[in-house]
Amino acid sequence: MHELSLVAELVESCELHAAGRPVSAVRVRCGDLIDGAELAIAFEELAVGTVLVGAALEIERVPTVLSCSCGFAGPVEAEHSGGHVALCPGCAEVRAVEEVLELVALRVADPKVSPPA
């Protein structure tokens, strides 16, 4: 499952920011090609044994952007994509797209901390 490696990185950076404090919620920015359900499952699995166990995952959807060698740069429609490749609307070539999964904010018991912007 592809989401697993993205979530593994996310969990790692959350642990870094939490610095041992229990986390109640994690807010992430997530590319719209990522399967939200799989993301939630992966997060729940990887949170076990960390300060993130039981934390709520709040997902902020952002468009997945494709930059192509033909000069096209813009958001990719889900219907033009499959997994982490997409059809370029400019030249109709299949291109790899970079999936976004980044930490926006962590809510810890007290005090509230946010990762640097």
Which residues lie near Zn ion (CB under 5 A)? 68, 70, 72, 88, 90-91
Q: Please return the burial class of 102, using the count of CB atoms within 10 Å of its CB with bins 0-12, 13-18 and 19+.
A: middle
The least distance separating Zn ion from the CB of residue 8, rounded to whole angstroms, comes to 31
Which is nearer to Zn ion, 79 or 110 (by Cβ)? 79
| Alpha helices for 1-117 (secondary structure H) | 2-18, 36-47
Token pair listed for 53:
């166990």
The least distance separating Zn ion from the CB of residue 94, rounded to whole angstroms, comes to 10
Tokens 């993301």, residue located:
39
- Given a contact cutoff of 8 angstroms between Cβ atoms, the answer to whether 97 and 64 are in contact is yes
Q: Please return the burial class of 88, using the count of CB atoms within 10 Å of its CB with bins 0-12, 13-18 and 19+.
A: buried
The least distance separating Zn ion from the CB of residue 100, rounded to whole angstroms, comes to 20
Which is nearer to Zn ion, 88 or 103 (by Cβ)? 88
Which is nearer to Zn ion, 67 or 114 (by Cβ)? 67
Which is nearer to Zn ion, 78 or 94 (by Cβ)? 94
The least distance separating Zn ion from the CB of residue 72, rounded to whole angstroms, comes to 5
